[in-house]
Amino acid sequence: MDYTIENKIFDRMKKAKRGMAFFASDFAVYGTTKACNKALERLTQQEKIMRVARGIYAIPQKGMFSNRIPPSVETVAAALARRDKARIIPTGLYALNALGLSTQVPMKIVYLTDGTPRKLKIGKATLLLKKTTAKNTATYGKISGLVIQALKSLGKGKVEEYEEEKIIALLKKENREHLANDIKLAPDWIRNIMRKALTD
């Protein structure tokens, strides 16, 4: 029976996009949590899959020099949010990098969450989920949500003209209804910048 569960789990993982993160609970239809955990342990020992972090597994992505590349931190964060039915939003240096306002690639990627806070080591990078208020994760737009966190990271009075121009250009690509909603969630000084994207 366990062997059947093992095969079913591996078949499902193979059919998914390589690098996708999985939890034992994703395979509850195949057996008990204990049986699924044992099957995942065996698959890991056989090197068919990899243990990304405690309770998180994936079929490694293929790399140029190694075929043991774990899922991206972003993929793991999204998987945790999906499992926990939580909302997350990037912040700090990662938000700046995602918007092209910084060329520095952070090794510590921080997300705000209304779910459970946690810290995980993913490959050489660190994923930090920080508990926050519901307001900070209530943004609708992907771009506008990033912008609010990026501007908070830069700080009031420290936004260069070229940075503001780039931000406004990015916000013009955002869904206008989402942007109009998200402006309400930003501090006053950030609202003043974001409103400029709504002018024709």
66 found inside a domain: no
190 found inside a domain: yes
The pTM score is 0.84
Q: How confident is the model at residue 1 (pLDDT cuts 50, 70, 90)?
A: very low
How confident is the model at residue 63, as a pLDDT? 61
163 shares a domain with 150: yes
68 found inside a domain: no
Give me the domain span that covers residue 93: 73-132
> Residue 42 sits in a domain of what CATH number?
1.10.10
148 shares a domain with 109: no
111 found inside a domain: yes
CA dihedral 75, 173, 152, 130 (to 10 degrees): -20
For the record, the structure tokens of 24 come out as 């034992």
Exposed e or buried b for every residue in 153-188, given b needs 16+ CB within 10 A?
bbeeeebeeebeeebbebbeebeeebbbebbebbee
144 shares a domain with 127: no
82 found inside a domain: yes
For the record, the structure tokens of 104 come out as 């520095």
23 found inside a domain: yes
CA distances from 135 to 84, 128, 153 (A): 18, 19, 17
150 shares a domain with 127: no
169 found inside a domain: yes
Tokens 């049986």 appear where? 35
141 found inside a domain: yes
Number of domains observed in the structure of the chain: 3
The lowest-confidence range among 57-61, 129-133, 192-196 is: 57-61
Q: Using one digit for the tens of pLDDT, what is the confidence trace for 101-142?
A: 998 888 999 999 999 999 999 988 999 999 999 889 999 999
Instruction: Tell how far CA 30 is from the center of its chain.
Output: 27
Percent of the chain with pLDDT over 90: 82
86 shares a domain with 42: no
106 shares a domain with 89: yes
- Please say whether the dihedral angle defined by the alpha carbons of residues 58, 63, 65 and 69, taken in this order, is positive or negative: negative
CA distances from 137 to 19, 71, 77, 127, 130 (A): 26, 24, 14, 17, 11
- Choose the final residue of a domain: 94, 110, 132: 132
CA distances from 4 to 8, 12, 18, 49, 73 (A): 6, 12, 22, 16, 31
- Choose the final residue of a domain: 132, 150, 183: 132
